[in-house]
Structure 1
């Protein structure tokens, strides 16, 4: 399917959507069916394409919000885009926001300005990638949610400075649910005997899935530790932040001769023991059990 501008004085403008993509788009955004394919949809789609460049990216943006198609360009999107540009946010990052969280550009400009001012006051450099990401995160929660997470982290041993420093390092950790934050801190502090400050210095740790990533990789780490093949705390932090392919290459395939059962252990197919932490944070060989 394609739509074409009906304005005789304008250059022909086509927006192509394949049948399969059209079906996918309608399934995720049925609101598009009740809008006419002349005004205001065509001008809006043309404006959107000028920002995100491709029709594929238009579809991505429309799938993110069912209400984007009805957004007021003149009263919402253009003022918000101009506001972001006033703070040195490049069009490439504005395009990223449209495709990942279009609601940022659909709110009242005064609301967005308040969010931007808050981000700036937290020490982020205007226009940087982290600045844009912080805007993304702070737009996704209200003040009550933000304050509740601050209080939760304080109750888990973080100082307010550590919380804000961690936000500057990795804003995304504040999008993690309270339940997942508690579970992560329980694992790192109670199971591994790490100090809360270790986690606050590496907030990305809280964004990882315990079941899918943290526990399986910790299993590998402890096996290799028990054989004096790798180092301690810092090594595990590095391991947890690797892509799957890099992790397997550096820590499983590499040691398959020394530890032939390592891959099965990583996949949770073996029952064996752990190295457990003591109160001083040192590691010792413990009774074999699953976490």
Structure 2
């Protein structure tokens, strides 16, 4: 609305034609609208300046980050953000870290959103320490409508998740992020790659991350593991944590590299977890340095696989070999 009004006042660097100008500036409603528009911009500029200053002084943001963020998170006075910080500090000493991670929380009415959801979890036997850690990791989850949040918590319990385990909260966070249609679409992707509904639910119970990844990520990961590495769908379901790993940075380079080791006649036993759930340092130690005496220049070969994986340069090809040593 305001942009339209101002475009009618100015055209490039020139003021609009005399007759139009006369009509605009001698028309009471137009003057009123222009005045309101200018006041709006002045107020917004003031709020943005105050917000940026608050973020820098209270939360330790850099000036650049604070100015960028203040375009999206605005408040006129310190009362509301101060109350948010006070609320979080009552729960734990990680208040500033939470707000640095998700600063938009500072503009919410926590009494309407977060507090009721905290209480719902406590009533369902979730340890307070777990709730605080989950809030630090998944703050968006706690900004869900309380009635809907309660429904999700009940569904997660019904699926067999233990409220005493942190995985319970991870499952709540994952379900909260998915709409019904999105959830069903992800199920369809897994089914396309050979998993039954029962296997998918069992995988979710063990590894909630299997439903956190996007449909595209799930499809590409399943395609690589099944078509390129020859891994059975059931093995993926049993060790579903692999779905949460980066395809280009981790799954593809390690998968291609291990294939080359096997092609060189090395009998390697591994699980998906032992291959993809370990640190880069440990992977290099177990799979690169360990076999360097048998296959020269392995580190160079591994780095080549990393380069191939970047940007999806690798080609997915169906192979006729499975890995019987997967257990």
Q: TM-score category by the smaller chain? A: 0.7 to 0.9
> Partners in 1 of 2:291 and 2:261 — Cα distance?
8
Aligned positions of 1:40-189 closer than 5 A: 40-63=80-103, 66=104, 68-189=105-226
Check the 8 A contact 1:61/1:98 in 2, yes or no: no
**Within the alignment, does 1:242 sit opposite 2:281 as a pair?**
no
Partner of 1:209: 246
* 1:28 to 1:258, Cα distance in 2 relative to 1, 3 A: farther
Partner of 2:69: 28
Check the 8 A contact 2:117/2:149 in 1, yes or no: yes
> Partners in 2 of 1:188 and 1:171 — Cα distance?
19
Partner of residue 231 from structure 1, selected from 264, 268, 272: 268
Which moves more between the two structures, 208-217 or 197-206?
A: 208-217
> Partners in 2 of 1:73 and 1:164 — Cα distance?
33
Which moves more between the two structures, 131-140 or 72-81?
A: 72-81
Q: Secondary structure at the match of 2:304?
A: coil
Partner of residue 320 from structure 2, selected from 278, 287, 290: 278
* 1:146 to 1:48, Cα distance in 2 relative to 1, 3 A: same
Question: How far apart are residue 211 of structure 1 and its match?
Answer: 2.4
Partner of residue 231 from structure 2, selected from 171, 186, 194: 194
Partner of residue 301 from structure 2, selected from 254, 258, 265: 265
Question: How far apart are residue 121 of structure 1 and its match?
Answer: 1.0
Check the 8 A contact 1:35/1:41 in 2, yes or no: no
Question: How far apart are residue 268 of structure 1 and its match?
Answer: 1.2
Check the 8 A contact 2:74/2:107 in 1, yes or no: no
Runs of 5+ consecutive residues of structure 1 not aligned to the other structure: 1-14, 284-291
Which moves more between the two structures, 79-88 or 101-110?
A: 101-110
> Partners in 2 of 1:40 and 1:28 — Cα distance?
17
Structure with higher helix content: 2
Check the 8 A contact 2:94/2:136 in 1, yes or no: no
Check the 8 A contact 1:80/1:105 in 2, yes or no: yes
Check the 8 A contact 1:173/1:203 in 2, yes or no: yes
Partner of 2:289: 253
* 1:207 to 1:83, Cα distance in 2 relative to 1, 3 A: same
Root mean square deviation of aligned Cα: 2.6
TM-score (norm 2): 0.71
Partner of 1:7: none
Question: How far apart are residue 255 of structure 1 and its match?
Answer: 2.4
* 1:83 to 1:18, Cα distance in 2 relative to 1, 3 A: same
Check the 8 A contact 1:154/1:160 in 2, yes or no: yes
**Within the alignment, does 1:17 sit opposite 2:54 as a pair?**
no
> Partners in 1 of 2:303 and 2:291 — Cα distance?
15
> Partners in 2 of 1:55 and 1:119 — Cα distance?
27
Partner of 1:11: none
Give the length in aligned residue pairs: 258
Q: Secondary structure at the match of 1:74?
A: coil
Runs of 5+ consecutive residues of structure 2 not aligned to the other structure: 1-56, 309-317
Q: Secondary structure at the match of 1:268?
A: helix
Question: How far apart are residue 181 of structure 1 and its match?
Answer: 1.5
